[in-house]
Amino acid sequence: MSTRNTGVYLCSGCGIGNAVSMDGLKNVVESEFKKSCKIHEYLCGDEGLDLIRSDIVEGMNQIVIAACSPRAMADRFRFNSVQVIRANLREQVVWSHPEKTEDTQMMAEDNLRMAVTEAGKSTAPEPQFDGEHSEVIMVVGGGHSGLTAAYESARTGYDVLLVERALQLGGMARKWSKRMPIHPPYQNPQPNTVANLIEAVKNHPRITVKMGSTVAKTSGMPGKFSVDFSDGSSHTVGAVVLATGWRPYDAGRLKHLGYGVSPDVVTNVELEGMLAEGRIARSSDGNVPEVVVFIQCAGSRDSDHLPYCSSVCCGVSIKQALQLREAHPDVMIYIIYEELRTPGVAEEFYRTCQRAGVIFMKGKVQKISSSLEITVNDAFLQEEIPLQGVEMIVLAIGMVPNSTNVEIESQFLDEEKLKLLSSDVNHYAPIKVAGAATEPITLSADPLPKGESILNLQYRQGPHLPMLAHGFPDSHYICFPYETRRSGIYVAGPVRRPMDMGESAEDATGAAMKAIQAIRTAARGFALHPRAGDLSIPRINLNPCTKCRRCTVECPFGAIDETEQGFPSVNVTRCRRCGTCMGACPVRTISFTNYTIDMLGSMIKAVHIPDEMEEKPRILALVCENDAYPALDMVGIARLSFSAYVRIIPVRCLGSVNLLLVSDALSAGYDGVMFMGCKSGDDYQCHFMKGSGIAQERLSKVGETLKSMALESERVTMAEVSIADSATLPKVIQNFVEVLESVGPNPFKGF
């Protein structure tokens, strides 16, 4: 490792020099750290940048810039081969504490101390290359989404392996007679072009189609996935797009709506088959029905069936009603709905249906007799309306994701099986989070007899892609579409969420682009987002490792496996660099070159702690860099103010915070510690999926640490902060300050 030659640069622009003494800050650097320090009016200007570049030429290889937030001017303050560390003096000091007071000066000096200390404990990471990386994209699923993902990937110049378990391509889309409109004026059903897409895929020289085959095993990591197939063949691929589509909800469970009771109650999928054949007829007598009723949300938005809305059903019913009207102009058509989803251009489609004479009734079906008489609780008339003479009922059933290879609807009522599908815990054997290592893991047992895995991942956390509550293998977080908790594996189309053919084509294209990004990023040794471009990787000192397996269990992305001896082993390109493993390790043996427990602990201790007589409490805020930190920046941008007693240290994720840092802070004299992170729970917003939840779980046990130190439990708290919470954040902080004032100063001050 080369010797650090660190230069510190102070910017007095943007009001910084008006609120704090720049000479005082320079004195802190030169007297306490013995580092070179220069002041400039505008460091982000050409003259300021030239100043830094000239010092780099002279041998400066690490830069500390005390100016604006690290979220600002990142492109300006980027210098090749030089590590840059930022101290936030603008947004989180002078813009939120503009008065030139002693507290503002102390806050700025402490921010600078922490940044220079970080520089002393941090080394710029270097890329790690591990042999050749595959640039083949494997697409699993040959329906409309999979075909689109394969075709768009090939168009960009990448080789594609398309895997389909059936003996023909097209999936559910092949069955549609027509599709909802995707071209102006968006008023009428349009031809189904999936046959053209199939031919384009089959004829593309970069696409290899493997039909009648399933994935037997997937191991490895982005750039180096090793895939074995049911036919005995194997391939190495760089990234995976899962586009296995959907299947209709089991209408056999809808007997209360007449399905299975009368042959003239059909599903929208069954009606589509009739439309494709060009003949609509009642099963009971073979005649064309004179009165047809579409019932929306058949089994959907229902806690006893599908609790979610499939969104597409409304448009499908409108499409089918228009096709039915075109084929048989005299048929009377009703669409009974609770809420009709026709957003955007689909509104024109809805109006076309109105003009065609289709009757829309807002209400809920109360009962259906054996003679198909329907009683509707009309929402507008506020009374029950009977519909008589009905000759065919069409149930608009919902979409179930093909996230496993067998039916999973029954699992919606089975909490234990659902928990297995939607969690990250090890499916193969129970794990004790602490203590001695458990028995070796067996990768042969099928933990979910009713949920055979599609990819059969050979991951420590099990064979499945973790799923949301309803079986969709998505990240959930709205900022990261297509993402899963398995790096380099992306989902697209209705397996990700219910969507029509137009939406699924856009979705598949997006997932293909993410797969390409993963391949290119892995080859360069970079992390995938949210820490895109990060070169650091977790380094594990195996000497003190106790084989407790906390790191392997808690890793949100399944990036850590175990060797035959039970030691953790990092799959580098799976890793997102969140640091959750670092926070999990009880013996502090996991670290990054530029992010360590020692670094954070040293930054905590670098702050000047006033003694009890000064009556200036100090509060440590460990703040998630993804939401809470920018929210604090926005407090300053809005010129709001928060307590000047707070000292902020950004962390990659609250999951990376080891609880030993809490005792370090309290031992150093801090009066309280506040964790600020993303929302946890079922509707989580954590960029690393479950970091906030893990931190919350860890903090539930912090009482024992506080008790051993004879300190009050109120001294440690956690706040869930969204990026939109900047207006209320000062009050959240002030409430904690008042709590600490009520319990009094930390007795460890001065020790």
Question: Residue 177: CB partners within 8 Å, gap ≥ 6?
Answer: 192, 272, 275, 276, 323
At 481 the pLDDT is 84
The Cα angle at residue 590 between residues 585 and 592, in degrees rounded to 5: 140
Please name the amino acid found at residue 231: D
Buried b (16+ CB within 10 A) or exposed e, 522-558: bbebbbbbbbeebbbbbebeeeebebbbbbbbbbbbb
Please name the amino acid found at residue 222: P
One domain, residues 281 and 357: yes
One domain, residues 677 and 744: yes
364 in a domain, yes or no? yes
At 452 the pLDDT is 73
Q: pTM value?
A: 0.89
At 62 the pLDDT is 95
One domain, residues 103 and 1: yes
530 in a domain, yes or no? no
- Pair 310, 398: CB distance under 8 Å: yes
Unique residue bearing structure tokens 């903090």: 699
One domain, residues 636 and 686: yes
Q: Choose one of 487, 504, 524: the last residue of a domain.
A: 524
The structural domain count of the chain equals 4
One domain, residues 265 and 295: yes
Going by C-alpha positions, the residue among 177, 357, 389 that lies closest to residue 289 is 389
At 383 the pLDDT is 94
One domain, residues 357 and 412: no
312 in a domain, yes or no? yes
Tell me the CATH number at 270: 3.50.50.60
271 in a domain, yes or no? yes
User: What is the domain range of residue 717?
Assistant: 595-751
Residue 359 CB-half CA count within 13 A = 11
Tell me the CATH number at 17: 3.40.50
> What is 65-104 written as a DSSP string?
EEES-TTSSTTTT--TT-EEEEEE-IIIIITTS-S--HHH
One domain, residues 601 and 746: yes
One domain, residues 259 and 384: yes
Distance from the first to the final alpha carbon of the chain:
35
Residue 726 CB-half CA count within 13 A = 19
At 45 the pLDDT is 96
587 in a domain, yes or no? no
One domain, residues 459 and 514: yes
- Pair 430, 438: CB distance under 8 Å: yes
Largest CA distance in the chain: 97
Q: Choose one of 483, 507, 524: the last residue of a domain.
A: 524
> What is 378-427 written as a DSSP string?
ETTTTEEEEE-S--EEEEEE-EEE--SSS--GGGGG-HHHHHHHH--S-S
Q: Choose one of 524, 557, 587: the last residue of a domain.
A: 524
Tell me if the bond preceding 185 is cis, omega within 30° of 0: yes
Distance CA 224, CA 235 (A): 10
52 in a domain, yes or no? yes
One domain, residues 110 and 189: no
578 in a domain, yes or no? no
Strand partners, 160: 137, 207
Going by C-alpha positions, the residue among 619, 603, 698, 684 that lies closest to residue 654 is 698
Token pair belonging to 404: 């496993």
One domain, residues 220 and 258: no
In the chain (751 residues long), the average pLDDT of successive 10-residue segments reads 85 96 97 96 96 95 97 94 95 96 97 98 87 95 98 98 96 94 93 96 98 94 96 97 94 94 96 93 95 96 92 96 95 96 90 96 94 95 94 96 61 45 35 30 32 85 83 75 92 94 96 96 91 92 94 92 93 95 95 96 96 91 95 97 97 95 95 93 82 91 88 95 93 97 90 66
One domain, residues 349 and 211: no
- Pair 467, 455: CB distance under 8 Å: no
CA-to-CA separations, 374 to 293, 390, 391, 392, in angstroms, rounded: 9, 8, 11, 11
